[in-house]
């Protein structure tokens, strides 16, 4: 009798881990690029990767310890031709976050994410993934009125070139995956229920993704979520049925979909089953960073088994619904809680893997 092939369900984090509180306090006091902060950043990254690896996570990140301000505009931090009063993200609890606004041309990145990868890979013993921000999010930096001598078309050209450069640099340095953060996808349906804005975002992101080969795209993924900041969301009331058909048109091989915090997971899984494509790997969220409760491995196992009823197991993976602190100053979740949740994801995914393997 031949032994059945071992089932593997890959599991990956999204990205951010809450920064140490002393680092947040020091960054708040001075410019976050102040060279005197370098040892603090370095210590935070080293500690993050050690604790990440201790969870058993087969893929780690640097916890985005050095992404200034957060996941969205780290790449333009310090860019002189910006103002802080850009696009506003409204959260359900009433608080808001703002992106930077471009005041004149040209648009350039000040930081490419591969610089974070350099440091992380010095400390890591397992593969490291890297999250980058989607062009669609940064496109919101261009104001409604045209900037003199710098058209929107010129801006989009510069933006796509910078984004492509960032992904290529991360792939070249050996990122396990490059994950494009696309939280504004679901939010766009709240701003524009017609779906016009969503489809313009998808078209824009595909202009960039189509520059990559199918092999490169198998290392590129897209993350969608309803937002996650200070225990609040920005678009949890938008039905995934409105988003996922368009989302799966993105030319990426991997999708990281927040699911654990959804009110009706089976409804979402049915939508995924209807629209996923054969070359997609779907990493479903089995941990809810927005929920203070630390999931047990058994809860995670059951969520994976549930997902496997809808998604072919060779296309299934697990992840967290979102990062644990997408914005740098967020201390609502402790580092201890974040790593305990990640450990549950790793253990619970392994439990499901064994069960599914035994029945296949």
Nearer to Zn ion, 55 or 183 (CB): 183
Q: Which residue, 155 or 317, is less far from Zn ion as judged by CB?
A: 317
- Extract the tokens encoding 131: 């999250």
Q: Is the backbone of residue 68 left (phi > 0), alpha (psi -120 to 50) or beta?
A: beta
State the nearest-atom distance from the C-beta of 222 to Zn ion, in Å. Answer: 11
Least Å distance, CB 322 to Zn ion, is: 3
> What is the smallest separation between the CB atom of 323 and Zn ion, expressed in angstroms?
6
Cβ count within 10 A of residue 278: 7
Conformation bin of residue 155: beta by default, left when phi > 0, alpha when psi is -120 to 50: alpha
- The C-alpha atoms of residue 321 and residue 344 are separated, in whole angstroms, by 13
The answer to whether the CB of 73 falls within 8 A of the CB of 97 is no
Binding site for Zn ion (CB under 5 A): 183, 225, 322
Closest CB to Zn ion among 189 and 322?
A: 322
115 CB-side CA count, 13 A: 12
Closest by CA to 257, choosing from 319, 326, 338, 185, is: 319
Minimum Å distance from CB 283 to Zn ion? Answer: 12
Closer to Zn ion by Cβ: residue 15 or 253:
15
| CB closer to Zn ion out of 37 and 257 | 257
Choose between 23 and 322: whose C-beta lies nearer to Zn ion. 322
Compute the residue count for the chain.
360
CA distances from 316 to 153, 188, 283, 288, 296 (A): 38, 27, 6, 18, 20
Query: Minimum distance between the CB of residue 125 and Zn ion, rounded to whole angstroms?
Result: 26
User: Is 7 or 113 the residue whose CB approaches Zn ion more closely?
Assistant: 113
Q: Least distance to Zn ion from the beta carbon of 153, Å?
A: 30
Q: What is the dihedral of CA 79, 80, 82, 83, to 10 degrees?
A: 120
Compute the distance between CA of residue 316 and CA of residue 303 in angstroms, rounded to an integer: 12
Measured from the CB of residue 118, what is the shortest distance to Zn ion in angstroms? 24
Q: Which residue has the tokens 């629209």?
A: 275
């Amino acid at each position: 009798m031949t032994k059945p092939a071992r089932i593997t369900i890959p599991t990956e984090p999204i990205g951010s881990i809450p920064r140490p509180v002393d680092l947040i306090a020091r960054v708040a006091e001075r410019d976050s690029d102040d060279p005197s902060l370098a040892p603090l950043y370095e210590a935070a990254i080293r500690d993050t990767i050690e604790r990440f690896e201790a969870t058993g996570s087969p893929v780690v990140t640097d916890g985005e310890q050095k992404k200034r301000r957060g996941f969205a505009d780290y790449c333009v931090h310090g860019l002189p031709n910006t103002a802080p009063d850009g696009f506003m993200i409204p959260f359900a609890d009433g608080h808001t976050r703002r992106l930077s606004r471009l005041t004149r041309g040209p648009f350039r990145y000040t930081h490419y994410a591969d610089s974070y990868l350099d440091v992380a890979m010095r400390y890591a013993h397992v593969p490291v993934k890297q999250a980058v921000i989607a062009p669609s999010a940064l496109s919101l930096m261009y104001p409604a009125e045209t900037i003199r001598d710098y058209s929107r078309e010129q801006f989009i050209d510069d933006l796509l070139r910078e984004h492509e450069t960032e992904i290529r640099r991360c792939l070249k340095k050996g990122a396990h995956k490059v994950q494009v953060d696309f939280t504004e996808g679901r939010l766009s349906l709240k701003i524009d229920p017609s779906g016009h804005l969503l489809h313009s975002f998808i078209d824009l992101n595909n202009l960039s993704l189509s520059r990559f080969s199918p092999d490169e795209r198998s290392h590129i993924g897209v993350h969608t979520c309803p937002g996650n900041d200070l225990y609040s969301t920005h678009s949890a009331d938008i039905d995934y049925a409105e988003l996922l058909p368009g989302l799966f048109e993105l030319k990426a091989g991997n999708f990281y979909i927040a699911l654990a915090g959804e009110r009706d997971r089976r409804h979402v899984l049915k939508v995924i089953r209807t629209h996923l494509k054969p070359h997609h790997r779907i990493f479903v969220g089995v941990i809810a960073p927005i929920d203070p409760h630390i999931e047990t491995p058994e809860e995670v196992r059951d969520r994976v088994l549930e997902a496997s009823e809808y998604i072919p197991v060779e296309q299934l993976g697990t992840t967290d619904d979102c990062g644990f602190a997408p914005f740098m100053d967020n201390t609502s979740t402790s580092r201890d809680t974040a790593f305990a949740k990640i450990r549950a994801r790793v253990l619970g995914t392994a439990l499901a893997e064994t069960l599914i393997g035994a029945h296949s």
